[in-house]
Structure 1
Amino acid sequence: TVNLPESSARLLALAMKEGIETAFTSELIRSNSLACPDPEMENWPWQVKVRALGPFEVWKDGEKIQSARKARQKPFELLKAVITLGCRNVSERAVADMLWPEAEGDAAHSAFATTLHRLRQLLGFEGFLELKNGKLALDSRCCWVDAWAFEAALKRAEASLKAGAVQKALGEIDAAFGLYGGDFLSSDAETPWTVQARDKLKERFCRVILAASEVLLASGKTAQAVEYLSSGLTVDPSAEGLCQRLLEINVRSGRRAEALALYQKLKESMAQKHGLEPAPATKAIIESFFRK
């Protein structure tokens, strides 16, 4: 065993990012219990790793845990609830209300305590999910969550756009696309308490993409803006703001067929998701084709 100081973590993180001797590097990290210097870094040998963007998946020390077994469903529901509520400073009561809405008082607390114990047993240690003064928190020193890293990338992109650092913002948006494996908890699409969190993440992502695209368009980088706007619509086909910008670009370029197809797809997506029609401003963009 090689004993390493904590200061070695940054060097080992760089080795992991560059793909240098990853098996050996991972073993060094694990054997020395080194904390990751970057809590959003994906390719670190995390004790617990969770994917919530797309189908829900959990790994313990690099091994995927099968979540389909009935005995594991409630503990994993608790973990999903904590992630849905933000991973940190999550109240026990809020989780209990989500998972045991019919239970009250001692019954709700008992169900919560039992399920938390089972989840900790399943993942092998208590530390990854702390409970203090009725508040739950995932420990970023040993646990990585894709939704957590995704939101952090969006936050950095927003800050970069505000500071006028467009290329840095685009790099963070690219990182967010790399993390976005699908809708938040897509395998729980029918669970009511996941819907708001799912829509909120998509709306924030599309808002950042639109803001970056506006800057690109203003600087004459139309092709790059189109690329980001189109990619944004793969995340949320009903994102009307993104669609409006693409429609305007198509109108200016005289691409009538593309514009009509884009508008029809938006119309279908909005009807399916919201039961709504495109806004008058969106319809006006299409109608401008026929006034020429």
Structure 2
Amino acid sequence: MAADEEGLRVRLLGPVQVWRDGMELSLGSARRQAVFTVLALRAGEAVTREELVDAVWGDNPPASAMGNVYTYVSALRQILEPARGRKSGTRLLSSLPGSYRLHVAADDVDALRFDALREEIQRHAAVGDRAAELRAADAALDLWQGEPLAGVPGPFAETQRLRLSELRLATMERRAALTVELGHPENAIEELRSLAEQHPLRETLHALLMTALHRGGRRTEALDVHRRLRARLIEQTGTEPGAVLRSVHDAILTGPEAAEPGPAPAAPGVPFVGRAAELDRIRGAVRDVAAGRGASLWVEGGPGIGKTALLTEGLREAAALGCRIGWAVGDELTQPMPLSVLFGVLGLDVTPAPPDDAGAALSDTAAGYATAAALERATTQVRAFCADRPLVLVIDDLQWTDEASLLGWRMLHRLTRTLPLLLVAACRPIPRNRSVALLRRAIEPDNAHMLDLAPLRPAESERLVRVLAPGIAEDRRIAGLVSAGAGNPYYLRHLAVAAGSPGPDPDVDPRPELVAAVGDHLELVAEDTREVLRAVAFAGGAGTVAEISAMTGRTAPDLVRAVEEALTAGFLYEQGPRLTFRHPVVAAVLRSDTPLAIRTLLHRAFAEKVAQNAAH
């Protein structure tokens, strides 16, 4: 008899509850509930006794564990079908050699129904049906009644609690984003504010809250959210906000409307300027994959050079050409979680790996098998997606992607030879990442388009400034902003907005937002590199290695690594024997961030050291 004829319903998204034919059943002890939970979450599958023992007791089961499992299953049979005798067997909980199976429809287990609705959300997202996506998100969240598997013991239940809770939060985030996108930001603000208080360091929530507030006409409140979160992150983790939050913050500063937080942020209301050749190559790759020809794209450039904006513009028509798109952003804080980025770009769930101090939780061999199995799962999913339609996968900030995801990306690159698959990676040259460098070397000669982004040309920079600050008419003033930004769209946006607003001259006294933006980029290099940059800034924006050596008190050989990093990061360039700031605004920020009295003393001290060095 089919399970639905028995009328069995299971609730796991809250305290564990079971109904049969409308009548609630009491499962009894916590460990009996733990056994039932495993069987319910694997509805219709055979679960071995060994798996049940591992799920309930983990690595240290008692000697009686096997017997206890047998006892728990016998009791559950009696609870589920009390009218059946012990020897007559049951139709709901059957035995197989060494294993058990719970016969219940997946739709009648709320956690499995939740997973199915999550897949439905992704299907609607893939075709751009936002209204249907929102309805599916509402239906998924309506299933929840509290903490999942509340009170159920054992490592399996704990893992599922973490997984389901994280998916619930992600679904709530997506529902809020859809609510904002569909024009009702005021309906999302209070829930987002509450969630942000519960998760004070979760940047995606704060980005959504900022967007909702800004779309609701509360720009000052939105910027205040960023200010408070940035202070909290620096205090508690020593890090600055990540790429998504920075993009939303920039969009609020530079446009009349906020950008939607998400994997492909762009400044709203600001036309894309320049980079015609690079756009042509990206659009050509999109047209190729839509026609069935796969490839890899690699976009590299320093911070603020416009990688994300370029990809957003270049991939804009991919969905209209019939492509499925997945987009993920590497994050410095998530690097320790294996496969988090690769599974994120595919929309798959990944269970967090155990911490390093988990002892004997996983042997190296077992961990290797687990990673291999996970990569095989990712590859299988990509093949399934490509069998349906062309697939475009994007990872931004690849330099902060975990090692396992980089390995998976290399495996997927091989599939571009035979599948309609376009892989797009964007990364910075700093911080240096050996694994990223090896990945680039591996794919560069093989079916890959390599784009190294240079600064915008002066004419392109001028067009961008005129778009961002239409109130500035004086050619001389615009030329000054173009010179200060030196082709970096990120700096140009800040300079243009500051120049178009009342306040001090940004070239002399940079705005706090610009200081913070430059500070974000300076944090990417080592302290000794920042020391070199400060020396060059106080030397007037340019200096020889000998002068820097005199200013810092370090020998020229000691400066080699720091100078190379400053050059690679794009802060300095070589102009004959002198090292010069590529972006004068960086030098201005370094100088302005030092109190005036100390600034004067440093100028004097540096001048004396250079003079002494010249005399010798």
With the shorter chain as reference, the TM-score category is 0.5 to 0.7
Query: 1: CA distance between counterparts of 2:145 and 2:70?
Result: 32
Q: Secondary structure at the match of 1:186?
A: coil
2:165 equivalent in structure 1: 202
Aligned position for 1:61: 21
How far did residue 57 of structure 1 move? 1.6
* 1:160–1:243 distance in 2 versus 1, CA, 3 Å: same
Say yes or no: does 1:77 pair with 2:31.
Answer: no
Match of 2:109 among 134, 145, 150: 145
Deviations 1:183-239 (A, max 9, x none): 211334x7543232122123234434545655665xx52425963993696599425
Instruction: Please tell me whether residue 112 in structure 1 is matched to residue 76 in structure 2.
Output: no
Q: Is the 8 A contact 2:44 2:105 kept in 1?
A: no
Would you say the 8 A contact 1:47–1:142 is kept in 2?
A: no
Tell me which moved more, 122-131 or 152-161: 122-131
CA shift in 2, pair 1:109/1:243, >3 Å? same
Q: 1:248 — aligned with what?
A: 211
The TM-score, its normalising length taken from structure 2, stands at 0.32
Counterpart residue number, 2:144: 180
- Gaps spanning 5+ residues in structure 2: where? 85-89, 254-511, 515-616
Larger RCO (alpha carbons 8 Å, 6+ apart): 1
- What letter matches 2:127 in structure 1? A
Amino acid at match of 1:151: D
Q: Does 1:121 align with 2:81?
A: no
Query: Which structure has the highest helix share of the two?
Result: 1
The letter of the residue matching 1:156 is E
Of residues 110-119 and 78-87 in structure 1, the stretch that sits farther from structure 2 once superposed is 78-87
SS in 2 for 1:59: strand
Q: Between Structure 1 and Structure 2, whose CA radius of gyration is higher?
A: 2
1:192–1:35 Cα change, 3 Å = closer
Counterpart of 2:191?
Answer: 230
Amino acid paired to 1:78: V
Aligned to 1:97: 54
In structure 1, what is the Cα distance between the partners aligned to 2:231 and 2:187?
20
Query: Shift of the alpha carbon at 1:263?
Result: 8.4
Match of 1:221 in 2: 182
How much does 1:245 deviate? 1.9
Matched length: 240
How big is the shift at 1:117? 0.9
Kindly report the root-mean-square deviation, in angstroms, between the aligned alpha carbons of the 2 structures: 4.4
- TM-score after normalising by structure 1: 0.62
State the alpha-carbon separation in 1 of the partners of residues 49 and 57 from structure 2: 11
Shift of 1:49: 2.0
C-alpha contact 1:46 1:144 (8 A) present in aligned 2: no
Contact 2:192 2:208 in 1 (8 A): no
Report the identity percentage: 19
1:11 maps to what in 2?
A: none
* Higher alpha-carbon deviation: 259-268 or 78-87: 259-268
Structure 2 distance, partners of 1:224, 1:158, is 22
Task: Please list the CA deviations of residues 4-46 of structure 1 after superposition, one character each: whole Å capped at 9, or x if unmatched.
Answer: xxxxxxxxxxxxxxxxxxxxxxxxxxxxx7765xxxxxxxx85
Measured in 1, the distance between the counterparts of 2:99 and 2:197 equals: 33
